[in-house]
Amino acid sequence: MLSEILEFAMLFAFGFSWPFAIAKTYRTKRVDGKSPAFMAIVITGYLCGISAHLVEGTKLWLCIVYLVDIALVSTDLALYIKYSRASRSGASRDLV
């Protein structure tokens, strides 16, 4: 039971930061300093965590937390793609 609580705390801590990153990206429409490769690696790590729980058949409720975190990182990644394309095309001033 303690390992579940600690894993949840880790997922919550990581997931807690993403809404702030998403809000900043959405507000500023800038993706300077963001790494799509890093976000893809984080998503891959979360998918591995889900896979481990599915293989073991234990702690399936934690998969929901992983999925929420994946959704948050994916949202930030989608914003990265949207705004990086806009800045490359010179349309960033039209987004404001």
Q: What is the spatial distance between Cα 30 and Cα 2, in angstroms, rounded to a whole number?
A: 40
Tokens of residue 40, six digits: 């893809």
- Cβ-based neighbour number of residue 72 at 10 Å: 20
Taking only the tens place, the pLDDT of each residue in 15-50 is 999 999 999 999 999 999 999 999 999 999 999 999
Tokens of residue 7, six digits: 């894993």
On the question of pLDDT at 53 being above 50, the answer is: yes
Q: Predicted confidence band at 88 (pLDDT cuts at 50, 70, 90)?
A: confident
What does the DSSP 8-state code read for residue 29? -
Helix locations, 29-88, DSSP H? 36-56, 60-88
- Cβ-based neighbour number of residue 6 at 10 Å: 10
pTM of the predicted model, to two decimals? Answer: 0.84
| pLDDT value for 87 | 73
| Percent of the chain residues topping a pLDDT of 70 | 92
What average pLDDT does range 61-66 have in this prediction? Answer: 93
| Domain positions in the chain | 1-8+34-87
What average pLDDT does range 51-76 have in this prediction? Answer: 93
User: Is 68 strand, coil or helix?
Assistant: helix
| pLDDT value for 96 | 47
